[in-house]
Amino acid sequence: MASDRIIASKFPSRHDGVTRRAVLAGAAGLSAATMLPTAARAEFPVPEVPPLEKEDYGAARRHFHTNLIRKGPSPEQSPPLGTPAGSKKVMYRGGPDGSIELIAWISPYEPSAKLKPAVLFLHGGNATGDGHWELMKAYWEAGYVVMLPSFRGENGQAGNYSGFYDETSDALAAAAYLEQLPGIDKNRFFLAGHSNGGTLALLASMTRKFRASAPISAGVNSWRYFGRFEREVRFDESDQKEFIMRSSVCFGHSLKCPTLLLRGTEERPFDADHRLLMDRAKSAGVEIEAKLLPGNHNGVVPGAVAESIRFFNQVTG
């Protein structure tokens, strides 16, 4: 397995002390968002058990606005985006108000009377590049139209990095863009994502309905994430609601589609937070399962993409 190859030309690393991204690896050059050697110790209180919110997550988003104390681009510095082979570059209006124009890549296709299934895939890390797009080939070879969006503040683009919250708005805007393209089957419209993108996939599928969702190596507890990468905290960390609104484990009942959580056998196993998310989702009647696949955080992705295709095909019969 050709994992742990550093492909600096595709994903230049970030150098800023304790939050330096030391490993940019994987079978297709993926950003290893969770592989920092050290991180600043968090000063905010971490709940022993993440709270369960009664309100639906989508409803909560309608009246919550994150308070960014520090504003600026993504913490992962990467070059401007081009157009990888096998893709078409498009621009979509990110955010809840469409005020930011962002780049996305989509697999070329010809609209026809026979509608095509589609997958919105949310990349890992806090920047994207050609290596992420290479993994999308499996989707279009399986007959899916696939779109991979970038997010605010990434790769030199406009907007302020918020750490999952406003990026979820971008993911939802990208979903609306893809869904409205001619020839797309709205009844076979799926969501997937890896690492940070898996985290966003959970939050997005708690906000609007997809046919099914397959988050890969997703984080569900933002206290844990920002406890490891505290310098990525841009919001008011004295406000517990900021963490709650970035933690899918607090809104398990809000999942709006069948969900398959995928993870590598060489990663940290599904922990108590994942089990709690699943218990809360199942108690609300949500179809949710978890599956371990061979590989580490990055090496699992090709197999997880294949597994997501199997899952999506199974859901639609």
Q: Domain for residue 150, yes or no?
A: yes
pLDDT reading at 15 higher than 70? no
The pLDDT value given to residue 95:
84
Whether 292 is in a domain gets the answer yes
Per-residue confidence band for 100, with pLDDT thresholds at 50, 70 and 90: very high
Question: Once rounded to an integer, what is the mean pLDDT over residues 281-285?
Answer: 98
Share of the chain above pLDDT 90, in %: 83
Least confident of 6-15, 70-79, 173-182, 240-249: 6-15
pLDDT score of 9 more than 70: no
Q: What residues make up the domain containing 53?
A: 17-316
CATH of the domain at 60: 3.40.50.1820
Residue 250: inside a domain, yes or no?
Answer: yes
Please provide the average confidence, as pLDDT, over all residues in the chain: 88
For the stretch 198-207, pLDDT in tens is 999 999 999 9
User: What is the model's pLDDT at position 201?
Assistant: 98
**Residue 158 domain flag:** yes
Q: pTM score, two decimals?
A: 0.89
Rounded to an integer, what distance in angstroms lies between the CA atom of residue 34 and that of residue 183? 37
Flag whether 3 is in a domain.
no
* Least confident piece of the model among 15-24, 166-175, 260-269: 15-24
Weakest-pLDDT range from 96-100, 104-108, 160-164 = 96-100
Q: How many domains is the chain built from?
A: 1
Which of residues 271 and 297 earns the better pLDDT score?
297
Q: How confident is the model at residue 36 (pLDDT cuts 50, 70, 90)?
A: very low
pLDDT value, residue 42: 57
**Over 80: is that where the pLDDT of 122 sits?**
yes
| Structural domain includes residue 12 | no
Determine, yes or no, domain membership for 11: no
